[in-house]
Amino acid sequence: QVQLVESGGGLVQAGGSLRLSCAASGRTFSNYAVGWFRQAPGKEREFVAAIRWSGASTYNADSVKGRFTISRDNAKNTVYLQMGSLEPEDTAVYYCAAGQTAGAIPTSYPYWGQGTQVTVSS
């Protein structure tokens, strides 16, 4: 199994940047795809970005393309979400998840972190 812990959330002004980290423990983490999802109050959980185990292939939601970058450092068992040009609409709890496929469907990821709050002020 894999345990995931998100960190790096906080309060940031619109236009600012923030980097989220997803630290993993457990065997064979490097073989897992990792996705980032977010959920704002009153809204459904939505896909943000995903990365394959190799780190060579990524996928981003249209809403964050050109602004967010997902990456991973398998030696550190950590996946990052570098967020730039943040907007108030990015305010949400951000979750990382691990699974077999770097997809956009939450149910395809069996392992989830507890989430970290990102608040972007207008």
- Quote the pLDDT of residue 39: 98
Q: Does pLDDT of 26 surpass 80?
A: no
Contact 113, 6 (CB under 8 A): yes
Tokens for 73? Answer: 């450092």
Cα 80 from Cα 77, distance rounded (Å): 10
40-63: pLDDT as tens digits: 999 999 999 999 977 779 999 999
pLDDT band, residue 92 (cuts 50/70/90): very high
Cα 113 from Cα 92, distance rounded (Å): 14
Backbone angles phi, psi at 34, to 5 degrees: -130, 135
Cα 114 from Cα 97, distance rounded (Å): 10
- Cα atoms in the 13 Å half-sphere on the side-chain side of 122: 2
pLDDT band, residue 1 (cuts 50/70/90): confident
3-class DSSP state for residue 90?
helix
- Determine the Cα angle at 70 with ends 115 and 37, to 5°: 35
